[in-house]
Amino acid sequence: MIEKRILLTGGPGFGKSSIIEELERKGNVVHHEIAREIIQHEIENQGDSVPWINIDSFSEKVKQGRINQFENGKDIISYYDRGIPDIIGFLMKDKKEISADLIELSNKYKYHSKIFITPPWEAIFQRDNERKEDFVAAIKVHKCLENIYTNLGYELVAVPMGSIPWRAEFVLKHS
């Protein structure tokens, strides 16, 4: 069997999840954004493991969720909405300490060498209950993600702006 872990990253609100949903609709194996699921669960249960209250607890839960997603991608082609190094990018944006553990895990759990990154696109950007960043903060996250993935040796491929089906086809064609 072929094993290939194709990752989409980029600042919040730039279209990654919509592309992942379209890839899933087309029959591909996908792994949805685990951070959003954690935030929704914490809000529903009045927990504090959300990035704006307890970033350390939140990051630990995201890390475990992304490791589980990675391990569930064995022997198949799968598409991921964010990866383990994204945690580092978000911590960098907030000028938080980056643990050696996170760097080690980012080097241990390697995705396909070509990473798809959705560029800032203000026309589609929206805030919601899980996405608290404004557009300026989302751009800062985006730049931090570009830095961490480049430093880890990945090739970044910008996903051009266009319709969701067209963007998903772009990812399929170039992965």
pLDDT in tens, 26-54: 999 999 999 888 998 998 898 898 888 88
Mean pLDDT over residues 57-82, rounded?
Answer: 92
If one compares 40 and 153, the residue with the highest pLDDT of the two is 153
Cβ burial of 172 (10 Å; 0-12, 13-18, 19+) is middle
| Residues of the domain holding 51 | 4-174
Task: With CA atoms as reference, report the closest residue to 115 among 76, 142, 75.
Answer: 142
Sequence-ordered list of residues with C-beta below 8 angstroms from that of 142, at least 6 positions apart, any chain = 10, 11, 14, 117, 119, 120
H-helix segments, the chain: 16-25, 34-44, 55-71, 84-93, 100-108, 135-151, 164-174
| pLDDT band, residue 79 (cuts 50/70/90) | very high
If one compares 99 and 6, the residue with the highest pLDDT of the two is 6
Of 19-23, 54-58, 85-89, 118-122, minimum mean pLDDT range: 54-58
| pLDDT band, residue 168 (cuts 50/70/90) | very high
In CATH, what number is assigned to the domain containing residue 165? 3.40.50.300
pLDDT at position 2, please? 79
pLDDT at position 121, please? 93
pLDDT at position 129, please? 62
Total domains in the chain come to: 1
**Tokens linked to 138:** 């989302």
pLDDT at position 51, please? 81
**Tokens linked to 22:** 């379209």
| pLDDT band, residue 161 (cuts 50/70/90) | very high
**Tokens linked to 156:** 């970044």
pLDDT at position 134, please? 87
pLDDT at position 135, please? 93
